[in-house]
Amino acid sequence: RKEVEQDPGPFNVPEGATVAFNCTYSNSASQSFFWYRQDCRKEPKLLMSVYSSGNEDGRFTAQLNRASQYISLLIRDSKLSDSATYLCVVNTWEGLTGGGNKLTFGTGTQLKVEL
Amino acid sequence: NAGVTQTPKFQVLKTGQSMTLQCAQDMNHEYMSWYRQDPGMGLRLIHYSVGAGITDQGEVPNGYNVSRSTTEDFPLRLLSAAPSQTSVYFCASSYRTSGQGVYEQFFGPGTRLTVL
């Protein structure tokens, strides 16, 4: 099983739609979670961190379910500019002798918002 | 602030050639890292550094060397290029890693490398 798994998509949605992505992780000891956005042929950029209580930033809502080991990203009122690949990133502390913090990136979910 | 800069943007090498990918940041970040991104595999950590003079291996270090003589610069050297090293390489920096937590990673624009 991959450490971090995402549905690669693409998710094709009309403008204004609501779309949700899930990401599952295999290590129950993982401690912090993030969503990064990557535009085509560009570098990843932090979209938002994912907090245990869930958090919202404008049209974006992130949730964490530790019991089922998944995080989710909900985008409301999709815009054409939301078209991108969304990377799930999981941080696991591997101890001082184990290399410290380990960031594992998912392969990404591609979103295409259409007129 | 320029953020994280990488050069070159594109490079074509022949098998066996060596080269250095440059990375610099002007944010006074302690933590710097190199990743490669391949289709269907996500970003994989090659090497990282928690400060000047300190480097360590990541998940896929074979065939690559790094050094960190200054806070700002973190070059990645390919010793003898192989077709398996064809990839997009991203350099990243962050404020630091602090115990059991990480800060936002700032990525450079990437270097697209093809090895023939």
Structure confidence by residue, pLDDT tens digits, B35-80: 999 998 889 999 999 899 999 999 999 999 999 999 999 999 999 9
Tell whether omega for the bond before A14 is within 30 degrees of 0, i.e. cis.
no
Tokens found for residue B26 = 């002007």
Nearest-angstrom CA–CA distance, A62 and A64: 7
Tell me if A38 sits within 8 A of A9, measured CB to CB: no
The pLDDT value given to residue B99: 65
Q: What's the Rg (C-alpha) of chain B?
A: 13
Q: What's the Rg (C-alpha) of chain A?
A: 14
Q: Which of A101, A104, A110 to mutate to test the interface with B (most CBs of B within 10 A)?
A: A101
For chain A, helix, strand, coil in percent to 5 are 5, 55, 40
Nearest-angstrom CA–CA distance, B90 and B36: 6
A107 contacts B40? CB cut-off 8 A = yes
Categorise residue B83: left if φ over 0, alpha if ψ from -120 to 50, beta otherwise: alpha
Nearest-angstrom CA–CA distance, A96 and B56: 13
Nearest CB neighbour to B41, from listed A31, A36, A107? A107
Q: Kind of pairing, strands B111-115 and B10-13?
A: parallel
Question: Which residues in chain A land under pLDDT 70?
Answer: 98-99
User: Above pLDDT 90, what percent of chain B?
Assistant: 85
